[in-house]
Structure 1
């Protein structure tokens, strides 16, 4: 499988294991749901869950034919393209207002979950 990002150079993890910097490639043996985490400074961290279904030649019964009798080499290549979104910083005034609100709530003993 290959993970490509725009812009390139992001750190790519698959199932919590770093596979490299995009474009990053890794082989896989098992099918199912995989979790991809793409991180790059200055961009929002993307977490993507993607399900990989086995191709026709991996289905029970057909796998015997494709692995032993098929004359050629069958390869299952998956490409994941990710468009990274620039990280936006909240305006200073908004951050200060939220901090003041949290300080006031903590002093009164009623703290609401942050937004």
Structure 2
């Protein structure tokens, strides 16, 4: 199983175990739903439940024959790519912060007393 992220370099945890930084690959021994968590500085942490489906040859009862009587070993690879969302202030909070900063600057230039805002 290979996990990639946009941007690359996010820390990956699968089922609570740290795997490494993206892009990262790991072996797995069973199919099912895995909990994947990606985190990177400046981005929202993403935690999701990712189904890892079994191929038709690995489903009961066919899996007995493919595991024991196939002349070659079957390798199953899964590749998952996730887009991380950049963390930031909402637009209205950002404009409020800019207005407060301008007010602070103008009061400092004039020499006025700065009143804390509620």
Please indicate the TM-score interval, normalised by the length of the shorter structure.
Answer: 0.7 to 0.9
> Which deviates more from structure 2 when the two are superposed, residues 80-89 or residues 35-44?
80-89
- Higher CA-based Rg: 2
Unaligned runs of 5+ in 2: 98-117
2:43 is equivalent to residue 43 of structure 1: yes
Q: 1:18 matched to which residue of 2?
A: 18
2:53 is equivalent to residue 53 of structure 1: yes
Please give the alpha-carbon distance, in whole angstroms, between the structure 2 residues aligned to 1:8 and 1:53.
Answer: 25
CA RMSD of aligned residues (A): 1.8
Superposed CA offset, 1:46-92 (max 9, x none) = 11111122211112221122112212221111111001111112536
Residue 76 of structure 1: SS of its match in structure 2?
Answer: coil
- The two structures have a TM-score, normalised by structure 1, of 0.74
Which ranges of 4 or more aligned residues in structure 1 deviate by more than 2 Å? 89-94
Q: 1:72 matched to which residue of 2?
A: 72
- The two structures have a TM-score, normalised by structure 2, of 0.72
Count the aligned residue pairs.
Answer: 96
Q: 2:5 matched to which residue of 1?
A: 5
